[in-house]
Structure 1
Amino acid sequence: MLVLVLEKSKMNIKEYFQKTNEESEMDKLEFLTKIIRGAARALAELHKNEYIHLNVKAESFVYIEEPDMNQNEKELFCKLTGLEKIVNLKLPNV
């Protein structure tokens, strides 16, 4: 049996992007880049453990606010949800 304990999220990254109003197009591009990097890191962690997610979409990533988070960081801290849609590559398909 696999049990996961996750932090309480604020909102998914799509909602977060829509709610956060960046002023210029460059700010939006930089902000979107942070979101994509955070999402990529979350997927990389899953893949590192030989799992794949079968339903990757913006709503599958949640934004986690860290108390010591620096707004100038190059990526947003994201967690992957919808873990009922993951498959372990080591196990035979049932």
Structure 2
Amino acid sequence: MLPFGISTEEDSEDRKPLKKIPETNAIFENVNKVNHQSDEDPETLRISIDAKAKVDIGEFSERMENPRVGEPEEALDHDMNPEIKMVPFGIF
């Protein structure tokens, strides 16, 4: 491992995933089985959904459009207690 948390290619090969639940292998075996079955069936359309980390929505300081024009806008200093949380995702 290099200083400041920088890793080399050799370091990354030795590391294991940080979060792996006991069911991970069974889940991927099932996914591979179902994918193979869908590949063989011409009537099946495979859809993939990719979700990202939750995004806080609210009046946060980094969301000001143009802070140097006109009156200063009131914004929260931190992103605590967001108005809502959303999960961005895509369907392929």
Note whether the superposition's TM-score is higher than 0.5.
no
Q: If each structure's helix is expressed as a fraction of its own residues, which one has the higher value?
A: 1
Bigger relative contact order, structure 1 or 2, given CA contacts below 8 A and separation 6+? 1
State TM-score, norm by structure 2: 0.27
